[in-house]
Amino acid sequence: MMAPQNMIDWESSRSDALAALSAAFGEKFHRGAARREHFAHDESWHRSGLPDAVFTPRDRDDVQKLVQIANQYPIPLIAFGVGSSLEGHVVPVHGGVSIDFSEMNALVHVHPGDFQAVVQPGLTRKELNEALRHTGLMFTVDPGANATLGGMAATRASGTTTVRYGAMPENIVALEAVMANGQIIRTGQRARKSSAGYDLTRLLIGSEGTLGLITELTLRLHPIPDRVVAAVVSFPSIAAAVSAVGAILATAVPIARIELLDGLAIEAVNAFAKTHHVVAPTLFLEFHGSHGSVDGDATFVQAMCEDAGGRDFVWHSDLEKRNALWEARHMAARAIIAMRPGSRILSTDVCVPLTALPEAIDRAQHHIQSLELYAPLVGHVGDGNFHFVVPVGDDADETQRILDFTARLADDAIALGGTCTGEHGIGLGKQHYLAQELGGAVDIMRLIKQGLDPLGILNPGKILLNEDETFHTAPKLA
């Protein structure tokens, strides 16, 4: 057994490493303070940590050379997309080199007949869909932020369409990565499925830059449906809305999106956009299919919603009217933050079995009341995943109550058979809960990390908790 990775002494090698990297890479290697500051944090409330330098690779060979030199000294390497992660994944807690993938952002190839696109990790999902528009194909995973595809793979992202099209694991065919030992590997070819050895594709998805650096992704695309119908329906209670969701999922209707906003979230939208939506728990639905099938599906689902107490079911197929219907969902986070000017967002992320959803939300509402918090709900309820979007301000006492709330949420989710993170990942913020949730499985993760990255150069301090690193979860404000 080698020494625990938290015992690594990064200090003694730091200046030699930086000198070697600077000599090797010249203008691709940046030491300036302003540039470094941009890579010190993500969009979350977690603490910052300045990198010693920023490296902007142009291709996989640059990445490989970086890893080879980093192993010689060693020095930490932290992959960075656009910094939209929500659990501090990109924070350089031990300094080191942030890898800026912004110049590796090509759409390498589209294989329309194979329903695949090959992209570099710095391309964002919206850039991809823009470029695909003429092909009749789309990339479906939609986490809200316009994240890079490399980042979405690294955090195992999902989003509003996961109930129909799956999360990142279902939408990545293969990866190219530079592993911690400097090897460039391809985890698979382009067949839609394969049983060829260990599933390194899925091992890298969600590994948060700690096992390898993704340099190319082969993505699965889906046909843009012939017909799309959007619908909105409000309910007397969250429990009624969730019971409608259960009924819908128990049919074979291929529904593409099932999102829930609670009354508080609707209220925030009304205040923000001067709209007059009924202030009640509201489901936002979307149906994808053929002209022959979608309207039938929508009518069928309308009846199910009304059986569960749903009112004012409205649906449209016209693009503009669909967008208008969904507007409240799309602007919810902005509207909530606007209720507390100057605040930053903490988004909780538990995910539970569908039948545990009412209980989990009930308990959460109870905690919110007793902790006296403002916390509107936005949920991918078709997956059992829901977020409380909590504005974090300068009040240290309130911040502590918010942290208590996230801890209670995780406790409840785990007790109800769920996970502390449905789609945001572990990063710095969920390390304690990972151990609580998966117990000894974390030891196996550690064996894998030690086997593949014995020097611990890739994103040290993330996912796997080390004894001396509990300070990482302290918020920026504390």
Closest contact distance (angstroms) between CB of 120 and its own copies is: 19
- 42: contact with its own copies by CB under 8 A: no
155-174 binders of its own copies (CB under 8 A): 155-158, 162, 166-167, 169-170
Query: Token digits for 430?
Result: 């969920």
The amino acid at residue 182 is: G
Fill in the amino acid letter for 145.
A
CB of 429 to its own copies, least distance (A): 12
Binding mask 343-362 for its own copies (x = CB under 8 A): ------x-xxxxxx------
Q: How would you classify residue 115: left for phi > 0, otherwise alpha for psi between -120 and 50, otherwise beta?
A: left
Q: Encoding tokens for residue 223? A: 């046909």
Q: Which spans in 26-118 are helix H?
A: 33-38, 60-72
Name the residue among 340, 401, 462, 355 with its Cα closest to residue 80.
462
Q: At what angle do helices 294-307 and 238-249 cross, to 10 degrees?
A: 140
- Site for its own copies contains 278 (CB under 8 A): no
Nearer to its own copies, 12 or 195 (CB): 195
Answer yes or no whether residue 61 interacts with its own copies by CB under 8 A. no
Name the residue nearer to its own copies (CB basis): 106 or 191.
191
d(C-alpha 137, C-alpha 90), whole Å: 31
Considering only 23, 396, 444, 478, the residue that binds its own copies (CB under 8 A) is 444
Name the segment binding its own copies (CB under 8 A); options: 34-42, 76-84, 218-226, 325-333. Answer: 218-226
In angstroms, the CA 403 to CA 49 distance is: 20
Residue 286-325 contact track with its own copies, rule CB under 8 A, x = bound: --xxxxxxx-xx-xx-------------------------
Q: Which of 83, 95, 391, 422 binds its own copies (CB under 8 A)?
A: 422
Residue 344, SS3?
Answer: strand
User: CA 211, CA 348: separation in Å to the nearest integer?
Assistant: 26
Task: State CA 247 to chain mean position distance.
Answer: 27
- Alpha carbon separation from 425 to 52, 153, 341, 349, 417 (Å, rounded): 25, 11, 27, 9, 17
CB of 371 to its own copies, least distance (A): 24
**Identity of the residue, 43 or 170, whose beta carbon is nearer to its own copies in the bound complex:** 170
Contact between residue 317 and residue 228 where contact means Cβ atoms under 8 Å apart: yes
Q: Measured between alpha carbons, how far is 30 from 98 in angstroms, rounded to an integer?
A: 10
Where in 254-273 is the site for its own copies (CB under 8 A)?
254
Q: From the CB of 234, what's the least distance to its own copies, in Å? A: 23
Q: Which of 452, 466, 476, 477 binds its own copies (CB under 8 A)?
A: 452
Nearer to its own copies, 113 or 341 (CB): 113
Judged by CB under 8 A, the number of residues near its own copies is 105
111 belongs to the binding site for its own copies (CB under 8 A):
yes
Please list every residue from 192 through 211 that binds its own copies, using CB under 8 A: 192-200, 202-203, 205-207, 211
CB 158 within 8 A of CB 143: yes
Can you state the angle between helices 263-273 and 319-338, rounded to 10 degrees? 100
Q: How far is the CB of 449 from its own copies (least distance, A)?
A: 8
Write down the least CB distance from residue 36 to its own copies, Å: 28
Q: Which of 437, 460, 461, 475 binds its own copies (CB under 8 A)?
A: 437
Q: Which residues contact 4 (CB under 8 A, 6 or more apart)?
A: 466, 467
Cβ of residue 130: shortest distance to its own copies, in angstroms? Answer: 20
Which is nearer to its own copies, 223 or 236 (by Cβ)? 223
Interactions with its own copies, residue window 230-249 (CB under 8 A): 246, 249
What is d(CA 216, CA 414) in angstroms, rounded to the nearest whole number?
Answer: 34
Q: Which of 280, 305, 364, 420 binds its own copies (CB under 8 A)?
A: 420
32 is a contact residue toward its own copies (CB under 8 A): no
Interface positions, 114-143, toward its own copies (CB under 8 A): 114-116, 136
Alpha carbons 137 and 361: distance in angstroms, whole number: 36
Cβ of residue 387: shortest distance to its own copies, in angstroms? Answer: 13
When asked if residue 450 is in the footprint of its own copies (CB under 8 A), the reply is yes
Q: Which residue in 150, 281, 425, 475 binds its own copies (CB under 8 A)?
A: 425
CA angle at residue 182 from 175 to 427, to 5 degrees? 65
Applying the rule CB under 8 A, the residues between 373 and 402 that interact with its own copies are 383-385
Decide: 216 and 60 in contact? Cβ < 8 Å.
Answer: yes
**Residues in the chain, total:** 478
- The residue type found at 416 is L
